[in-house]
Amino acid sequence: MKPLITYLFIFCSVVCFAQKNFSGRAVYQSKTSFDMERFNNRDMSEQQKKRIMDRMKNMLEKTYILNFNKTASIYEEEEKLEAPGRGGGFRFGGFTGGTQYKNTISKDFLEETEFFGKNFLIKEKVELPSWEMGAETKKIGNYVCYKATMLKKTDALDWQNMRRRSRGRDKKRKDDEATKKVTEDIEMPKEVLVTAWYTPQIPVSNGPGEYWGLPGLILEVNAGNTTVLCTEVVLNPKNSIDIKEPSKGKEVTRKEYNAIVKKKMEEMQEIWKGRRGGRGRGSRR
């Protein structure tokens, strides 16, 4: 009897939302686990590691806002005032947080981002994610959520899942089947398992960041080392939500942008190697 009541409640929610225009705002907390041992450097003391981790906390724990309507959404990091002396926080490789727009009908995806002081507008058409629907349920807040999973190919810039390359020959050969080389010292898995929890009680095919394509708003995502959890949902807020496509920056495709970033990272790696080599030569004198 209880499952029947649940399904009836969900059905009524879908009918209710379908009969009127609506919008909403969802707040998400994103946390990424990061093991410094993966990037263990013999020249780095425990104190230096701790200092780096303290600086990285702003990058590993973030708050995002998703503004959405029936067909489109804007996803961006919540603006926060930096504490005095923090120097604007830690930026990974020159990246700064941007704005992501997606339209679930036209399948247009736009991302406005900044990289080493230059603004870019990434434009692409996205395909419907290949979710595998499950029957397992759980409650997040007041919402009944259903489980869905998929294997996602990692992006070249997916730093959350990067790890130090193995030095053991046999292990390295084995890992190469499931991992890809990022640099001489860093690799990442070719695929990660993504687990999403969505609620048909909010029948929009949307969710945080790149995740969408389910018959309900995605309230939780677990992907590799990162968990994104919705902590608040406000439907039809008093202040109207205006969702506009971002337009700032040089227009590029995802492939073009990745190539730009890869080239810059290689340049920075060469500079870093040169500096380390210079220190090494100086130490022999």
In the predicted model, what is the mean pLDDT of the chain? Answer: 78
Structure tokens at 120: 């870019």
Residue with tokens 């603006």: 79
CA 97 – CA 33 distance, rounded (Å): 19
Q: Phi and psi dihedrals of 71, rounded to 5?
A: -125, -20
Structure tokens at 113: 């981002």
The pLDDT assigned to 19 comes to: 44
The pLDDT assigned to 17 comes to: 52
CA 44 – CA 41 distance, rounded (Å): 5
The amino acid at residue 67 is N
Give 272-281 pLDDT, tens digit per residue.
Answer: 776 666 555 5
* 53: number of Cβ within 10 Å: 13
Question: Is 40 or 204 the better-scoring residue by pLDDT?
Answer: 204
Give 160-175 pLDDT, tens digit per residue.
Answer: 655 556 655 445 545 4
The pLDDT assigned to 132 comes to: 97
Residues 6+ apart with CB under 8 A from 277: none
Helix (H) or strand (E) holding 208: none
CA 179 – CA 173 distance, rounded (Å): 10
Give 92-123 pLDDT, tens digit per residue.
Answer: 444 456 899 999 999 999 999 998 889 999 99
Lowest mean pLDDT across 128-132, 218-222, 239-243: 239-243
Q: For the CA atoms of 32, 36, 39, 42, what is the dihedral angle to 10 degrees?
A: 170
Helix (H, G, I), strand (E, B) or coil at 2: helix
**Is the pLDDT score of 242 beyond 90?**
no
**Is the pLDDT score of 16 beyond 50?**
no
95: which strand partners? 115
> Domains of the chain (ranges plus CATH)?
2-154+190-252 (2.50.20)
Does the predicted model carry a pTM greater than 0.85?
no
**Is the pLDDT score of 197 beyond 60?**
yes
The pLDDT assigned to 218 comes to: 98
Cα distances from 126 to residues 63, 131, 211, 228, in angstroms, run 25, 14, 11, 21
Which of the four pLDDT bands, split at 50, 70 and 90, describes residue 240?
A: confident
Q: Are 230 and 26 in contact (CB under 8 A)?
A: yes
CA 203 – CA 238 distance, rounded (Å): 20
Which of the four pLDDT bands, split at 50, 70 and 90, describes residue 14?
A: very low
